[in-house]
Structure 1
Amino acid sequence: MAEIERQSGSTPKDEVPEVTYNIAYMIPKKEISMVPDMGKWKRSQAYADYIGFILTLNEAVKGRKLTCEYKVSETVEKLLILLATLDQWIDETPPIDQPSRFGNKAYRTWFAKLDEEAEALVSAVLPSDKSAAAAEIAVYLKESVGNSTRIDYGTGHEAAFASFLCCLCKVGCLTVDDQLAIVFKVFHKYLSVMRKLQKTYRMEPAGSQGVWGLDDFQFLPFIWGSSQFIDHPTLEPRHFINERVVNEHHQDYMFLECIKFINEMKTGPFAEHSNQLWNISAVPSWSKVNQGLIKMYKAECLEKFPVIQHFKFGSLLSIQPKP
């Protein structure tokens, strides 16, 4: 596989996954079937590319507001159209009357539509010379919206969407110039669609740790959201549990949007329903919060067999060991 070499002396901000050429694309499949296989994952090119992608975006959004100015490329616009389509399908697929409160079966109808259309949706985003990658990349899109059997959603599905975006970088469809738009436009819209899915179809949290988990559904917006706050002149970690601060600043900061959503969905004292976040509010600085959340993400998501057993590997995110 021929690849563009990174320029020497590149900064973390420039370290997007390398553009790949002359690839034999393949349909991604599961490779982690037993706990001992986790070593293969941590040594893999996929792990290196994935964590590199997350950390590169973490660096890109440092100290930046959601409302700041940044370039919006044609590819980003096409991704927003794709996500708007998924959003529209929710409106066209209302929940059905059923005896059980959670896991509305109308979600399966919505998911079947995505299953059928995913490759065409991805083809519409890719330039014609990259159309051969559509079937491979579409798998990550389908994996990113939850499980249609269990009607649940969690951090593994969120990781599939990050993998979808990483693959678009690897084929050169998204570039270094798109980094802010990837988080502030595309991922932001994805979060909005996922929250609508969760509310409309009463989706269960996948593998939830209850009060011991960071959040029932998401993790990445807390990492990138805490990076946005680094070196903020007035807002400290202790402020995010203040509802007035959340209401005043949520449009600028992804972290506060997450807190706002939790406040809307849960009742009772914050310290009881979101104990981990309550503990984080006592950390003295946002840079320490950010570093701690990255460690926690690796330990609680990327190194947990119940999450990674569902991850799929192809030519773009390869199970092969990193050289």
Structure 2
Amino acid sequence: MSTNKIEFTNTKAYEFIKIFMYQVDISIKEGKQFENKTQIDILNLINQRIEDTPLDSSSHRFANNACLSIFEFLKSFENIYLVNSFGNASRMDYGTGHELNYFCNLFVLYKKGYCKINEVFYTLKIYFRVVRNFISKYNIEPAGSQGIWGIDDYQILPYLFGSSELFNSNRNILELDTSYCYVECLKSTKNKNSLVLSSFKNKRWFDINRNSLNMYDNQVFKKNVITQHFIYSEYLPNTKK
């Protein structure tokens, strides 16, 4: 892993992960999505550990200290992207940078031939659920919440790829159930007063999808407060484009 400083948007890592995002987006729009059993099994194993790890009974102003055992458990997978996909152990918080780490994990698996493009979305949906369970159980803090000006205190990808799933639909959000990724995340979000989500209610899925892709680029890829912690690697190098 390299630590040389370079503007993230000038790196090959940015180019590669952004292209991958568009590839996944197109795959969801155009074809059936499938399960990657190996990755789902790993996520189920993590979720089971969350379920089996009781809360620390001492009083806590913020996150429950029992979450630290989950962070420790993640180290056993010896995967730097996966280890950093559930938040920061020191601050006991979670945000879009950690969500990005898991997406990078899937990119690397894709490049190695362990995950197909049409398996990414299904895997992400399980990851979103496991993370929500983790956040809810241990009261994990949001990393850099934007309040009503943000789409969600914790994640953006469920909305982005959720809009990809509904891209060809003419149905209104009120007509949809939680079998759809977008609605499932919307029902569980703590940011009930998001002006962004409110503005999406009367838009076409085409527009929501386009806006979500632009939003991710601006609020994650182009935010130094997030990308300064980006994990560069062999498949996501910090060399210039």
Structure 2: runs of 5+ lacking an equivalent = none
**Deviation at residue 181 of structure 1 after TM alignment:** 2.3
For 1:61, the equivalent position in structure 2 comes to 28
The number of residues matched between the two structures is 241
Change (3 A) 1:188 1:31: farther
Cα 1:307–1:166 shift into 2, 3 Å: same
SS of residue paired to 1:282: coil
Deviation track 1:53-82 (CA, whole Å, cap 9, x = no partner) reads 111010111166xxxx5544xxx2111111
Shift of 1:203: 0.4
C-alpha distance in 1 between matches for 2:167 and 2:33: 19
Q: Name the counterpart of 2:89.
A: 148
Are positions 1:310 and 2:229 aligned together?
A: yes
Task: Tell me by how many angstroms 1:153 deviates.
Answer: 0.5
Which residue, out of 102, 110, 113, partners 1:169? 110
- Give 1:277's aligned amino acid: L
Deviations 1:78-132 (A, max 9, x none): 11111111111112211112322421111111111212x122xxxxxxxxxxxxx
What's the TM-score once normalised by structure 2's chain length?
0.93
Listed as ranges, the matches of 1:104-253 within 5 Å are 104-115=64-75, 117-119=76-78, 138-174=79-115, 178-184=116-122, 186-233=123-170, 235=171, 239-240=172-173, 242=174, 245-246=175-176, 249-251=177-179, 253=180
- The reply on whether 1:256 has 2:157 as its aligned counterpart is no
Give the root-mean-square deviation of aligned CA atoms. 1.7
Name the residue aligned to 2:18: 51
SS for the counterpart of 1:312 is coil
TM-score by length of 1: 0.71
CA distance in 1, matches of 2:215, 2:56: 38
Q: Which moved more, 1:90-99 or 1:293-302?
A: 90-99
* Counterpart-to-counterpart distance in 1, 2:4 and 2:92: 23
Shift of 1:231: 2.4
Cα distance between partner residues in 1 of 2:62 and 2:164: 34
* 1:29 CA displacement: 4.5
Q: Does 1:288 align with 2:226?
A: no
Give the drift of 1:180: 2.8
Q: Give per-residue Cα distances to partners, 1:226-264, cap 9 Å, x unaligned.
A: 11112213x1xxx32x3xx35xx221x1111111112xx
> d(CA) in 2 for partners of 1:203 and 1:60?
32
Cα 1:203–1:30 change in 2 (3 A) is farther
Whole-angstrom CA distance in 1 between matches of 2:3 and 2:42: 26
Whole-Å Cα distance in 2 between the matches of residues 313 and 81 of structure 1? 26
Contact 1:63-1:228 within 8 A present in 2 as well: no
The SS at the match of 1:313 is coil
8 Å CA contact retained: 2:33, 2:121 = no
Provide the rounded CA distance (Å) in 1 between the counterparts of 2:114 and 2:128.
21
Matched, 1:82 2:42: yes
Deviations 1:14-42 (A, max 9, x none): xxxxxxxxxxxxxx35444xxxx42xx21
* Structure 1 gap ranges (5+): 1-27, 120-137
Matched to 2:183, the amino acid is L
* Greater C-alpha radius of gyration: 1
Q: Aligned partners of 1:207, 1:29: CA distance in 2, in Å?
A: 25
Identity %: 29
